[in-house]
Amino acid sequence: MVTILPIIQIILSVILVAGILLQSSAAGLGGALGGGSDNVDAGYHTRRGSEKTLFNGTVVVAILFVIVSIISFIIG
């Protein structure tokens, strides 16, 4: 069990980074830096379809990563 936990952590971390990088923002870089002030609701965006699935999957992978990290800390 001790030898497989680091492997699981590496796999989860790669999946987590990929999930975060795949998420695209509707505002883009200009909205993140304060541009696009003509739209009052620039910060509000409803996730739909595959974007929502990707977001929920990323949250699940993040929670699994934290759980595996805590178990690894307790065992190790």
**25-39 residue pLDDT tens:** 644 554 555 555 555
Closest by CA to 33, choosing from 41, 43, 23, is 43
Q: What is the C-alpha to C-alpha distance for residues 13 and 6, in angstroms, rounded to an integer?
A: 10
Range of the domain at 67: 1-22+47-76
* Two structure tokens written together for 29: 């870089």
Lowest mean pLDDT among 5-9, 40-44, 69-73: 40-44
71 within a domain of the structure (yes/no): yes
Is pLDDT at 55 greater than 70 in this prediction? yes
Q: Between 35 and 52, name the one with better pLDDT.
A: 52
Residue 41: pLDDT band (50, 70, 90) is low
7 within a domain of the structure (yes/no): yes
28 within a domain of the structure (yes/no): no
Is pLDDT at 47 greater than 80 in this prediction? no
In this prediction, residue 48 carries a pLDDT of 85
Question: Structural domain tally of the chain?
Answer: 1
Give CA 52 to chain center in angstroms. Answer: 12
